[in-house]
Structure 1
Amino acid sequence: MKKVILLLNIILFYSCLSQQKKSIRQVNDYLLKNNYSSLGELDSTQLQGMKNAISKYRLLGKESCNMNPDKKYSHIYIEDGFHDEEGFYNGIIITDDKNICEVTTSPYKLRRDSISYTRFKEKNGIIFYTKKLSAEEFRNNYTDEYFRYELVTKHKVNSFEKCLSIDQYTPKSIIYARSYYFSGKGITMYKLPIKYSDIKNGIEGLPYFKEDKKREFVECINELNILKIQDFIRQ
């Protein structure tokens, strides 16, 4: 009897563990069903085309980075970046805080550096490029994406929002990116108006953003302890 109870407890334990993990495919399926009201005014054909393309970027992109989209992970972070006018995609997928894959169709990135990307052509004609990134490369060369990733995964979004609320003229970036994070329970969506590259050298060129508020904003961002803003504010 004791052995039966022990066996049941073991089964229950591993069942609970499996519920706390998801695959990229499962997260993708959830997002396809639940997060498309934010895409704007699209007719049914456009919406389906968008869903199909994004699904391929996420799943085939991850596969192109030699990562199994059906393997289950405790933590999954996805940033879908879009250029609304030119229509290209630039995304980041990170699993268990260490496996990092970039998926892009950005002509700007490919003109600067096409050699380090792997070209992927899907049988129905969709073409994109992928790159497997190290943690160091991600932090040093993708500072905008890294800053947003750290805000989400280190649970600092609320603190960041307090920085943005310091003043009505607090700088906010226009970005075309949405972040999704699964960490063992639900999947949460974020849209963070921040480009670290816009603020990293100090807050300049905003005549209505007073000096004391600039300093307060710089200190607030630096206290997040992600990436520092150089303080060029006049003494």
Structure 2
Amino acid sequence: MVELLGLLAYAELVSFFRLTSDAELAPSLGDKAELAGIAATEYEHYTRLRDHLVWLGADPEAAMEPFVVPLDTWHEQTQPQGWVESLVKAYVGDGIAGDFYRHLAQVSDTDTQELVHGVLAETGRADFVVRRVRAAIDEDPALAGRLALWARRLVGEALSQAQRVAMERPALARLVSGISESGTGEAGDLAAVGRVFARITDAHTARIEALGLGT
């Protein structure tokens, strides 16, 4: 549970930094304010996770540390080129991550489930991003193809880093696969993890269609 909460806490903290930076790319004051508000919500989520880790007797910084490299690597490898790409990343990339965290929560204790689902609750980001991306495509239809490729790249990089985390953190791999401490072992765990990632990839299609990008 500490590893799961540490992973999610660092993800929320990085999301706060990224959305704050993305707000600088926004074309209008209204858009800047909208993203700033979403970023503030992400930071509030981080503080809830941090405080819960402290309540559990864990050191939040130590709990987050193992996930700094994989999450920072994903962000470094998926630097958006402009405002619209940053919106697609916020929507698609974070959606994939949210699916992953929700799956972990399903096989966690009740308190952890409630905390994770509360942190991942809708922040208004989806509606905002869909409106802005669809408007950009209406203005320049040629964007659709480029953004569809960008979305696929985001998913590929996200799953690559998620697999890396699962391989490096056996306890999380067991949690992902729903296998207990007396489960089938590493090979079985990783096979089950692969099936979970396949289901997460399938859910990606709905997000792409909501953005008007096709598949």
Tell whether the structures are fold-level matches, with TM greater than 0.5: no
Q: TM-score normalised by the shorter chain: which range applies?
A: under 0.3
Higher RCO (C-alpha 8 Å, min separation 6): 2
Q: Greater Rg, structure 1 or structure 2?
A: 1
TM-score (structure 1 length as normaliser): 0.26
Which one has a larger percent helix, Structure 1 or Structure 2? 2
TM-score (structure 2 length as normaliser): 0.28
Which one has a larger percent strand, Structure 1 or Structure 2? 1
